Chains A and B, each alone.
Chain A
Amino acid sequence: MSIIALLIFPGGLFALACGLAYEWVDRKLIARFQNRIGPRWFQPVADTFKLLAKEEVVPAGVNPGLFTWLPVVALAGALTAALYVPMAGLPPAFSFPGDLIVAVYLLSLLTLCTGLAGANTLDRFSIVGAVRTLTQLFSYEAPFMLALLSPAIVAGSWQVSEIIAQTGGQWALITQPVSFVVALIGLMGKLELPPFDAPEAETEIVAGALTEYSGRGYALFRLGRGVELVVGLTLIAALYMGGLANPIDFLIKTLGLLVILALIQTLFARLRIDQTVGLWWRYGALLVLAQLAVIVGARLIV
């Protein structure tokens, strides 16, 4: 039973398929907002198979073990995080006290692997991309964790299923709007979506940390990004929008969040890396700390 949960549903194949589907929805929405047609429904599938069938070039001077295994570890981290969140509206496959922190850090594992992969290759663009990736990780991670902490404080538990049960169908984004906004924007920083795609700035540093990756390694990183998108959306929808009761609920809530994400992507230009760090450490952290102060104060008074 647990093997099926791990490999097919809700981890493994289902998470990969969901990742590809959500990547398509994201690209199609952005295209529509930009008044163009956008990709066909099977585009991410074709992209993935094409990359898997391409020759994989291992550049000179890299550590071959790291080069081959970092993409695998990144995808494995993202897929494992899918086991602890209520994917497809069903209760999480595995649940234990503290699994919220484990899920968030498994998602950060993907960003860390991207940074390491960039630092591993000797290309100057990869190294700059890796430095930017890790700088961005350092800047949004704390506010994002704190923003996920506020429903946990209200529920009194670090366990995802406990938090959902304690909200009792009530939408936490009404009572904690500030940390909802910080969590959503934090998810955009985690996924390196515009306006936070300085680590992957095509016009500046070719392709960022993954410049030298081709073929299978690149396909695995892209799949990991897609799974991270689904898992992140599920987590925020579950914590802030009153839990995910059934698959239809899951689809409506996560796609609703994805529409907001696509809108923000099309509206804003790319931020410089120092603007990103400034934004997060000045406004992001302060806003979420203010929200936490309000919550803790309310609990002490009431």
Chain B
Amino acid sequence: MNINPEHIWDGALEKLKTWARINSPWAIHYNSGSCNGCDIEILATLTPRYDLERVGVKLQGSPRHADILICTGPVTLQSRERLKRIYEQMPEPKFVVAVGSCAISGGAFQGCYNIVGHVDAVIPVDVYIPGCPPRPEAIIDGVVKLLESLKKTDGRAQSTDDRLQNTDNRSQTADAGQ
């Protein structure tokens, strides 16, 4: 029998890391040109009435401290670079939640001259929460679904290279469509 001691350590350590990541998701909120309706709903979700601190979500100011980027709004051309920069500043592992119809497909602003339309043309998105605006219960449902999916895939939703590949494809079709 050849028991490799590193193997025994590894399994337990990975389980500990996954448990910690699922139970302590810190969020940062970014508005990429939204009408603020979704932002008001996100703010309502973080108030004492719904109290997300009981599942461990804390709102952070700095992208360096956050795991989840909650993004609203159709990405305007001006905020496109800023959104990319904020996403790149977050350390791994990181996840993106796109809130509202504008973030998913352009919503009320579909076809406008100054927007990109989908958030996932700029950064890879893990959870889409539709609504205009979605209720706080829907936002909580989306975040909980994201945490549940982490339990299944053991802490990483997808490798960043795969996700960035998908991003390039989407942006090409978006440009071609317009």
Chain A residues with CB under 8 Å of chain B are 27, 31, 34-40, 42-43, 45-50, 53-57, 125, 202-203, 206-207, 210-215, 218
Q: Is B56 an interface residue (CB 8 A)?
A: yes
Give every chain B residue within 8 A of A48 (Cβ-Cβ): 20
In chain B, what residue has the closest Cβ to A45? Answer: B20
Given contact pairs A207-B65, A211-B64, A50 touches B21 in the complex (Cβ within 8 A): yes
Please, how many angstroms separate the alpha-carbon atoms of A55 and B64 in the complex?
Answer: 10
**B91–A206 CB distance below 8 A:** no
Q: Is B53 an interface residue (CB 8 A)?
A: yes
Given contact pairs A46-B24, A202-B61, A214-B64, A35 touches B19 in the complex (Cβ within 8 A): no
**A34–B48 CB distance below 8 A:** yes
Given contact pairs A54-B93, A214-B91, A38 touches B53 in the complex (Cβ within 8 A): yes
Given contact pairs A43-B56, A46-B56, A211 touches B23 in the complex (Cβ within 8 A): no
**B64–A49 CB distance below 8 A:** no
Considering only residues 27-59 of chain B, those with a C-beta below 8 Å from chain A are 48-49, 51, 53-54, 56, 59
> Which of the residues A37, A42, A46 comes within 8 Å of B51, measured between beta carbons?
A37
Q: Is B158 an interface residue (CB 8 A)?
A: no
Q: Is B110 an interface residue (CB 8 A)?
A: no
Shortest beta-carbon distance from A178 to chain B in Å = 35
Give every chain A residue within 8 A of B65 (Cβ-Cβ): 207, 213-214, 218
Q: List 14 A-B contacts (CB under 8 A).
A: A31-B53, A36-B48, A38-B51, A38-B53, A38-B54, A43-B23, A46-B56, A49-B17, A50-B23, A54-B93, A125-B62, A206-B62, A212-B62, A214-B91
Please, how many angstroms separate the alpha-carbon atoms of A207 and B65 in the complex?
Answer: 9
Please, how many angstroms separate the alpha-carbon atoms of A203 and B21 in the complex?
Answer: 26
**B51–A53 CB distance below 8 A:** no
Please, how many angstroms separate the alpha-carbon atoms of A295 and B29 in the complex?
Answer: 53
**A50–B24 CB distance below 8 A:** yes
**B24–A47 CB distance below 8 A:** yes
Shortest beta-carbon distance from B80 to chain A in Å = 21
Most central of B21, B23, B67 by chain A CB within 10 Å: B23
**B54–A39 CB distance below 8 A:** yes
Please, how many angstroms separate the alpha-carbon atoms of A253 and B91 in the complex?
Answer: 40
Please, how many angstroms separate the alpha-carbon atoms of A50 and B147 in the complex?
Answer: 14
Given contact pairs A50-B20, A54-B91, A57-B89, A39 touches B56 in the complex (Cβ within 8 A): yes
Q: B59-99 toward A: CB 8 Å interface, digit per residue (1/0)?
A: 11110110100000000000000000000010111000000
